[in-house]
């Protein structure tokens, strides 16, 4: 009889599944936070799966390293672009907290941070924007701001791809 009254006062066998379920939910919540909530951006450029990685803007696969761009968000996401013009167009249309942006150098197998680049006009690029990233200060290079303005003007239709701004 003592067991029956103790079971009735404390919820007995019926309370055990509720407590176990709450414990499982708490563990799932902690694990989910650890996976999603604690992501940090990469420290530098990350490897690209060439010819398999789609562009975040146009969905074409990145196949020409000389024109690739990678955007690292503050949330730890990494987005890839097959052409600097795709990157500029994407950034203009999306609210994104940027942690870092890396541009593949036009003539060398290396990545440069956005703060260290300029753009040379080129005859062809994957999506036809006609820009390749080089080190800032390279003779004939456009600034990042000028290249961005050129792409966005072409996107709006108030500037032609053949009409390059004065350097």
Q: What is the pLDDT of residue 151?
A: 95
The pLDDT tens digits of the residues spanning 122-146 come to 999 999 999 999 999 999 999 999 9
Asked whether the beta carbons of 80 and 69 are under 8 A apart, the reply is: yes
pTM over cut 0.85:
no
What is the Cα 36 distance to its own chain's centre? 16
Query: pLDDT by residue (tens digit) across 39-58?
Result: 788 999 999 999 999 999 99
Between helices 2-9 and 12-32, what is the axis angle to 10°? 40
pLDDT tens per residue, range 65-98:
999 999 999 999 999 999 999 999 999 999 889 9
């Amino acid at each position: 009889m003592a067991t029956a009254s103790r079971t009735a006062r404390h919820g007995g066998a019926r309370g055990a599944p509720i407590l176990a379920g709450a414990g499982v939910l708490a563990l799932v919540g902690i694990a989910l936070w650890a996976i999603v909530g604690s992501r940090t951006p990469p420290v530098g450029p990350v490897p690209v799966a060439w010819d398999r990685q789609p562009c975040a803007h146009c969905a074409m696969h990145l196949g020409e390293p000389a024109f690739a761009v990678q955007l690292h968000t503050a949330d730890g996401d990494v987005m890839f672009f097959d052409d600097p013009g795709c990157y500029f167009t994407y950034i203009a249309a999306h609210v994104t907290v940027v942690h870092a942006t890396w541009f593949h150098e036009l003539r060398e197998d290396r990545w440069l941070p956005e703060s260290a680049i300029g753009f040379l006009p080129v005859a062809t690029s994957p999506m036809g924007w006609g820009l390749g990233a080089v080190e800032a200060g390279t003779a004939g290079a456009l600034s990042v701001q000028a290249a961005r303005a050129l792409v966005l003007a072409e996107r709006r239709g108030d500037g032609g791809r053949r009409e390059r701004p004065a350097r």
